[in-house]
Each structure stands twice: as C-alpha cells, then as structure tokens.
Amino acid sequence: MNQSVIRLTRELNEIRKSNDLSIAVACRESDVRNVKATILGPPDTPYEFGFFEFALKFSREYPTKAPTVTALTTNSGRCRFNPNIYAVGKVCLSILGTWRGDRGEEWSSAQGLESILISIQSLMSSNPYENEPGFENANQPHDKENQKAYVLKIRHETLRVSIISRLEDYLGINPDGTVQPPPTVPEQDIYDDESSMMDSEASTVFEPFKDLCKRRFLWYYDTYLASIKVESGKVVDGAPFTKMPFEHAGNTMDGKFLYSELERRLKFVKERLDHETASWAAEGLIHKGKESGVAANLQRQFEQTVEHYKKQDSVTIDIELIDDNPFLWRVTYFGRPMTNLDGGLFNIHLAFSPRFPDEQPRVKFMTPFYHHQITTDGVPCYIPQRYDEGRHHIDAIIQLMEEESPPYDPRTQVNQEASKLYWGSKEDKREYNKKLRRSVQRSMEG
C-alpha cells in the first residue's frame, strides 16, 4: 500500500475518534484520496454554527505535497464567504501554496489533514474583513462601517446558504415551500448482503454529512431562530448587501436581507425534520414485519441494554419498546437521591432510523427538563462513546443529566437562557439550580 494512503487513513481515523464537534471528515472506502470535510462555523462569529463543506484531493506525493482544497459551500459559485474563500471554491492559504505567506508558513510534511481544516476554520473570525491582504489594520471610518456591513451579510448568508438551503436540499423542500416526494430507491439492508451496496457506491452521490447536519440543526435550532430575531433588528428587510472594496464580478457576495423569509423557511425545516423523525416508527414496523437485519439488530440491542442496566446499581432507569417497536425506545430515568435530580421522573424517547447506524437515533425529552445542554424542545446535545449501539447513547444522556462540573464548551450550549445562568455569576447559578429543581419537581407531578 502506498505510504500516502497509510498516512491519510491514519489521519482520518484520528479525526473520527476525536469526536471534534467542529470538524467532520469522510471518504468512500474505495477512494481514500478524495476526502470531504465539513467545518462548523465557530461561535461568536458571523459563521456561527453554519455548515461549511470542503473537498480535499490528495496525490500520491502526500504528505510531501499539499492536497488541493475546494470550498463547496458557495451557493453554486455565487457566494464568496471570506476574502480567502472564493466563490469559485478556491481557498487561499499559504500552507496550501495558494497564497504567498511569510517564511515558515509554507507547507511541510509535518502538517496534515487536521491542520489544514483548523487553518481554514481560523479564517472564519469575528472580523473577516481584515483577512484581505492590505486590510489587516484598516481602521478608517469607512473601513469600520465596511467591517460591520461585511459581518451583517455573512451572517445572513451563513443562515440562508450554509444552513437553511442545505437542510432544504436534504429534506426535498422546493424553493416555493412545497415538498418533493421521497425518492424511490431499491431497499437495502446494511445487515444483510452488502455486495449490492458496494456495487452501487460509485453511482450514488456522496453526501456523508446529511445526518450530522440534521442532528446539529436540531441542537442549534433555537440559536438560529434567536440569531434571526437579533440580526433582523439591525437591517431593513429588502435592503441590498454592501459591496466590499475587495469584491469584484464573479467573486462577491451579492444579495439582500430577507430575514422574514428566512424565519419562515427555518421553521418549516424544523417541521419537516420532526415529521421525518415521526415517520421512522411506521417504517420500523414494516422492517420488523419483514424481519430485516436492522430490526433484528435493534431488537437484540434493546434486550442487551435492558440486561445491562438491570446490573447497574448506580443508576435507576426503565427501558421499554413503544408499541413493541424496536425502532422506538422509551427510557424512564429516576433521579439519583441526594442530587439536584432527586425524586425526578423523566421520560425520554429514542427514535431509530431504518438506516441505523448510518443515521443516528434522534432523542427527545418528553418530560420538560431545564438544562443548558438540552434545547427548549427537549433535544439533548451529547456525544456517545459509540454511535452504533443504543446503550452508549443512553449512557451519554445520563452522563449529561448527572454531570455536576462539565467543561465549558460553547458548541454544547443549546439552551441560551439556561447557559447564561449556569455560566454566569453565583446569583445566576443559584437561579439556574432553582429552575432545574423546579423542572424536577414538575416531572413528579405529571
């Protein structure tokens, strides 16, 4: 095997195992040299929680030679998201050899896939205007106005292009708001004969981040909605974007502010995602009737998970199938004594896709629970140790509920009000604990 393939395979596995919330990578098993990556827009920037996709092509000379990197989130070549990320997809970085840099900034074999993606992410700053060469220290009054205007339009297009349009495409939502019928594809079972799936791999469009983006959308939906409300107060609906001095024909970010329309579209995406999740139960019963491999796997996992928790003295939970459907689990969590959750009774639903584990379960607290890592709609923000086992999802949810001193990570703060209180002053923290205990007490009432 070529040394570049060995090196690249190792780097891909390291990134996957790291569970980095900001970076995800994927490639076809048959083509490790062509990698797709998605970068989550950094918090507190106009790119916040956007999904930015890139294609990286590695030659046989890697790591001696840098890969070719192309930005794919460009609104079909019409949107330049950064002075260094062109509408045509070019990414200008000295380590890639696409831009002249200072001595020592050029590519070396010590760098790799992760360092490239981190370098690209660093371009997504709170003031991207200064990324343009010659504008690093621009501080004239007109520059300051341009900086504000640039941030305003990047935030709008991050919401419109990288989030809403992407999810609409994934969900088959047309520009007029109508929904396309689901595509008819041959039914395949990943737990049965895989040969037909391997044969059709080359003929299918490689979209490895669909499920990831859908799950993250559910995490950050409240944040997106709040951002629209804040940003819409800064601009006039229908006003055109301000053109930057470094933008020119074919490499610009043109458009106008349409936040009222974005809010409608965002809410409809959420509605369709909830509809998709609800449809998994009916699909699952069909798979159960056919005794498919995925149904048998989930039934087996359910039985093993029940037995596992029966042996656990440290936590009390009850797990059952809803309507005897292995694709829909109900977890009842009993609050641990002598903790903030003491006496609480929380019902949690796990909906499994017929395409599990390629599509991850969607979890929802049916009992309202005030927590900085649980959305107001009941969606928990967690990372399981293993994605392909239902038990590990439950383990991670319990850890989220019971952890008393979690490390601060703005990417996991999906309840804005609760987060501000939890990480605020001592008085704020006391108020947070009051609200949490109130939700625990209400869980016992109904």
Report the alpha-carbon distance of residue 131 to residue 127 in Å, rounded: 8
Question: Using H for helix, E for strand and C for coil, what is the string for 397-444?
Answer: HHHHHHCCCCCCCHHHCCCHHHHHHHCCCHHHHHHHHHHHHHHHHHHH
Q: What is the pLDDT of residue 103?
A: 66
- CA-wise closest residue to 312 among 400, 406, 394: 394
Burial 8-47 (b: 16+ CB within 10 A, else e): beebbeebeeeebeebbbbbeeeebbebbbbbbbbeebbb
Give the bridge partners for 350, in sequence order.
Answer: 329, 363
**Closest Cα partner for 413 from 44, 167, 51?**
44
Q: What is the DSSP letter of 118?
A: H
Instruction: Kindly report the pTM of this predicted structure.
Output: 0.93
**pLDDT for the residue numbered 171:** 97
Write b or e for each residue in 77-90: b if 16 or more Cβ atoms lie within 10 A of its Cβ, otherwise e. eebbbbbbbbbeeb
Domains and CATH numbers, the chain: 1-128 (3.10.110.10), 138-180+209-244+254-289 (no CATH), 291-444 (3.10.110.10)
Residues 6+ apart with CB under 8 A from 190: 197, 293, 294, 355, 358
- Write down the pLDDT at residue 191: 55
Active site residues: 92
Q: What per-residue confidence (pLDDT) applies to 66?
A: 94
Q: What is the pLDDT of residue 244?
A: 96
State the Rg of the chain over Cα: 24
**Cα distances (Å, whole numbers) of residue 39 to 56, 71, 242, 280, 415:** 13, 11, 26, 28, 22
Burial class of residue 139 in the structure, from the number of CB atoms within 10 Å of its CB (0-12 exposed, 13-18 middle, 19+ buried): exposed
Can you tell me whether residue 326 is helix, strand or coil?
Answer: strand
Lookup result for tokens 């087996």: 300
Inter-residue contact 188 to 204 (CB < 8 Å): no
What are 311's two structure tokens? 């042996």
What is d(CA 298, CA 216) in angstroms, rounded to the nearest whole number?
23
* Cα–Cα–Cα angle for 388, 377, 261, rounded to 5 degrees: 105
State how far the Cα of 241 lies from the Cα of 253, in Å rounded to an integer. Answer: 8
CA dist., res. 408 & res. 413, Å (int): 9
DSSP letters, 169-194, are: HHHTB-TTS-BPPPP------TTS--
pLDDT tens digits in sequence order for the chain, 446 residues long: 688 999 999 999 999 998 889 999 999 988 999 999 999 999 999 999 999 999 999 999 999 999 999 999 999 999 999 999 999 999 999 999 887 766 667 899 999 999 999 999 999 999 999 999 888 788 889 999 999 999 999 999 999 999 999 999 999 999 888 999 877 655 555 555 554 444 545 557 889 999 999 999 999 999 999 999 999 999 999 999 999 999 998 899 999 999 999 999 999 999 999 999 999 999 999 999 999 999 999 999 999 999 999 998 888 999 999 999 999 999 999 999 988 999 999 999 999 999 999 999 999 999 999 999 999 999 999 999 999 999 999 999 999 999 989 999 999 999 999 999 999 999 999 999 999 999 999 998 86
- Extended strands (E) in 125-263: none
Q: What is the pLDDT of residue 192?
A: 53
- Per-residue confidence (pLDDT) for residue 197, from 0 to 100: 46
Tell me the HSE value of 197 on the side-chain side, using a 13 A CA sphere: 11
Q: What is the 3-state secondary structure (H, E, C) of 382-401?
A: CCCCCCCCHHHHHHHHHHHH
Q: d(Cα 161, Cα 72) in Å, to the nearest integer?
A: 11
